[in-house]
């Protein structure tokens, strides 16, 4: 069963949180940011080409125009493939682990899977980002030597940056599944 709710991100853009429960111990939470707008794309392209045409008028060298087209194409491909993140999702499977996926606008998906044995807890943290203080959700990884220590902090939803209300929903869903591993008998 899936449900979708709208929230705002830390910078004010509308984002959508989609929750799906696949089974009693498996949940998927996906935060979707706004898609690439045709307006901004055309604005950027026109600006680059106007500048190139101005340079061409000054220098009478046609290489400037072909270079501008080349730069626009390459820049667009790089932006779609490496920069623009459409959706960030969290798949929590009790007793297996937590999977964090970022899907880019070009369709590329980059996934990390963290085994449940390495996960200490999922918490909401505060951070100073530029001139703001924002909340972010992160996974605390267990230190193998020190049972009370934390070896690494993995921040989630870094590009969509949801606000506290959205984070609380995600936090509650994760904690329901993480609690199950405490009630179940320890299986190291």
Partner 1 sequence: MVLKVFFPSCCSSADSGILIGRWISEQNSVVVLAVVHFPFIPVQVKQYLGEVQRVTKVSVSVLGSWSNSKQEKEESLSEFLEDLGTIFCHEPWIQISKEGDSKFWSCSILQKHSKNPQEEEIILVYYDQRKVMLSHLHPPLDTAGQRAEDASKLSAIFGTVARSQVLFMTDRYNEGPIKLTHWQSDGVEASIIVELLKQASVPACMLLTFLLSLLSGICKSRVLKFWPLSFLWSKLSTCEQLGHRLQHLQVISSSKKAQNQNQLMRKANIFVSLLIDVALGILLMSWLYRKNRIGHLADTLIPVADHVAEELQDLLQWLMGAPAGLKMNRALDQVLGRFFLYHIHLWISYIHLLSPFIEMILWYVGLSACLGLTVALCILSDIIALLTFHIYCFYVYGARLYCLKIYGLSSLWRLFRGKKWNVLRQRVDSCSYDLDQLFIGTLLFTILLFLLPTTALYYLVFTLLRLLVVIVQGLIHLLVDLIDSLPLYSLILRLCRSYRLAAGVKFRVLEQQDGKPLRLLMQINPLSYGGVIQTYRLPTYSCYPRDSWASLCKKLFLGELIYPWKHKGDKQN
Interface residues toward partner 1, by CB under 8 A: 22-26, 28, 91, 93-96, 99, 101, 111-113, 115, 117, 144, 151-152, 184-185, 187-188
- HEC sequence for the chain: CEEEEEEEECCCCEEEEEEEEEECCEEEEEEECCCCCHHHHHHHHHHHHHHHHHHHHHHCCCHHHHHHHHHHHHHHHHHHHHHCEEEEEEEEECCCEEEEEEEECCCCEEEEEEEHHHEEEEEEEEEEECCEEEEEEEEEEECCCCCCCEEEEEECCCCCCECHHHHHHHHHHHHHHHHHHHHCCCCC
CB of 187 to partner 1, least distance (A): 5
CB of 98 to partner 1, least distance (A): 10
Cβ proximity to partner 1: between 114 and 168 the closer is: 114
Cβ proximity to partner 1: between 23 and 131 the closer is: 23
Cβ proximity to partner 1: between 81 and 132 the closer is: 81
CB of 120 to partner 1, least distance (A): 15
């Amino acid at each position: 069963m899936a449900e979708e709710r709208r929230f705002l991100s830390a910078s004010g853009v509308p984002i959508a949180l989609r929750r799906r429960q696949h089974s009693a111990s498996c949940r998927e939470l996906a935060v979707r940011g706004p898609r690439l707008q045709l307006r901004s794309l055309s604005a950027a392209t026109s600006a680059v080409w106007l500048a190139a045409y101005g340079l061409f008028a000054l220098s009478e060298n046609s290489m400037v125009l072909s270079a501008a087209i080349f730069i626009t194409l390459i820049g667009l491909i790089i932006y779609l493939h490496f920069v623009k993140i459409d959706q960030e999702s969290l798949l929590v499977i009790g007793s297996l682990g937590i999977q964090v996926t970022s899907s880019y606008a070009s369709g590329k998906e980059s996934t990390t899977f963290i085994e449940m044995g390495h996960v200490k807890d999922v918490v909401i943290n505060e951070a100073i980002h530029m001139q703001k203080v924002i909340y972010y959700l992160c996974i605390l990884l267990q230190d193998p030597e020190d049972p009370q220590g934390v070896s690494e902090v993995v921040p989630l939803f870094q590009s969509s940056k949801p606000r506290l209300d959205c984070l609380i929903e995600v936090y509650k869903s994760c904690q329901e599944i993480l609690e199950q591993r405490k009630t179940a008998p320890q299986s190291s």
